[in-house]
A = this chain, B = another copy of it.
Amino acid sequence: MVIVVDAMGGDFAPQAAVRGALASAERLPAQIVLVGRPQEIEKHLPASAQRPANLQIVAANDVIQMEADPTRGALRRQDASLFVAVDMVRRQEAQAIVSAGNSGALLTLAHTQLGVIEGVRRPGIAAPMISQRGPGVIIDGGANADCQPIHLAQFGLMGSIYAEYALDIEEPRVGLLSIGSEPSKGNSLTRGAFDMLTEMPINFVGNIEADGIFNGQADVTVADGFVGNVALKTAEAMAHFLMGDLHNCLCDGLSGKVAALLLGNKLGSLRQRYDYANYGGAPLLGVQGIAVFSHGRSDERAIASAICVAHRAAEGGVVEHLRQACRQLVVEAN
């Protein structure tokens, strides 16, 4: 298995990407390929003799900046690290691509270069969400701001397949994010999607509210990309804000500082748990390959866990399972 990493993407590139790739190469039974400016990549690596044999560099001298408008030009930047990396998946030289760079550009390139799986109306981003019952995802995490009911129904199917084959969840429970649990609750989009979801070959558990994401009522939460993105960012912002207040409590006076010492590791793992940058990446489901988005603010560990997400998705054969399930949809529609 080969996983390509866009070495030049993200706020802390290339260091975070290179270090994350190095750590992954030491841990995973996969070829890890760093794509970018060789000189800049080399700076953050040990001398060649000390490198893991499964870590390689492929040269690409151009970089698509974080703030660049992705709809313009991404496709013409054929020497950009992101373009070269995605192209390796297109040419089947790699199974997966990971980038913390310009997410709009990755979206555009994954769509157009890899192509959409037959039967899929809209690829959707499966973004990780924590819950008390373990890992879960919300789909769509932001690829499609305007959706129709059929798109949501397909997100439910794709999310279910991902949860089953990449997250090893048996019969994943799929919930529709809404503002009330009764089928009649929600907006016209969710009411339309509700019936379609009941007809999908998935374990649909009905409408859930935000607390249902966290308490694990569903493994897969379905929403349009606008609502999904708002939910993700609200959860992230609330955790960040609350952790900041807790930090202030623990810095305030001698008693606060002693309490912080006493809590030590427990507090550290609490922080880790709620730090979205450490969750791993979010794959775009519905394209002909594995494309994993990592947070723009990704540090070395975030990149490593995004690579891990890519590895699990590739190992689980998620793309092939999606193809089969969507072929079935096409057959039934005809």
Chain A positions within 8 Å of B, measured between CB atoms, are 132, 142, 145-146, 177, 179, 186-188, 190, 209-211, 213-215, 223-227, 229-231, 233-243, 245-246, 249-250, 252, 255-256, 258-260, 262-264, 266-267, 270, 273-274
- How near does chain B come to A216, taking the closest CB pair, in angstroms? 10
- How near does chain B come to A280, taking the closest CB pair, in angstroms? 19
- Known A142-B179, A187-B145, A239-B238: A249·B263 in contact at CB below 8 Å: yes
| Nearest B residue to A147, CB-CB | B187
B266 x A256 contact (CB < 8 A): yes
| Nearest B residue to A224, CB-CB | B187
Contacts of A256 in B (CB 8 A): 262-263, 266
- How near does chain B come to A63, taking the closest CB pair, in angstroms? 21
Q: How many Å lie between the Cα of A211 and that of B232 in the bound state?
A: 11
B179 x A230 contact (CB < 8 A): yes
A sample of 7 more A-B contacts (CB under 8 A), given A145-B188, A187-B226, is A145-B186, A146-B187, A179-B230, A210-B238, A215-B237, A252-B266, A256-B262
A237 x B213 contact (CB < 8 A): yes
User: Which of A179, A225, A255 has the most chain B CB within a 10 Å cutoff?
Assistant: A179
Contacts of A273 in B (CB 8 A): 245
A132 interface neighbour in B188, B233, B241, Cβ under 8 Å: B241
Closest 9 CB pairs of A and B: A210-B233, A145-B187, A259-B259, A211-B237, A210-B234, A259-B262, A238-B238, A234-B234, A255-B262
Q: How many Å lie between the Cα of A256 and that of B270 in the bound state?
A: 13
Contacts of A186 in B (CB 8 A): 145, 226
B252 x A258 contact (CB < 8 A): no
Q: How many Å lie between the Cα of A274 and that of B242 in the bound state?
A: 8
